[in-house]
Amino acid sequence: MLFFGADLRMSRRIAFVTENFIFPGVDDPLVSYGLRFFGEKLCVDLSFFNPLSDEAIFPGFPYIDFVINF
């Protein structure tokens, strides 16, 4: 598997995030894009996953992620 990721900080507490995966033997890579919100001990991702193909669904499949730093 090959992974490409990037983030662009938009403010102190918000970033645009993209994480993309290329799997061996699979023609269409899997891309994700969304926003990451930062708190004191909590980080929340609101993003979408989508295969990069002609049959892609806009905006994609929703994905929500919570990370707690303790």
Domain ranges of the chain: 2-68
Q: Each residue of 24-35: pLDDT tens digit?
A: 998 889 999 999
Torsion of CA 34, 36, 37, 38, to 10 degrees: 180
Q: Each residue of 9-49: pLDDT tens digit?
A: 999 999 999 999 999 998 889 999 999 999 999 999 999 99
**pTM for the whole thing?**
0.80
CB 51 within 8 A of CB 30: yes
Query: What pLDDT, on a 0 to 100 scale, did the predictor assign at position 70?
Result: 85
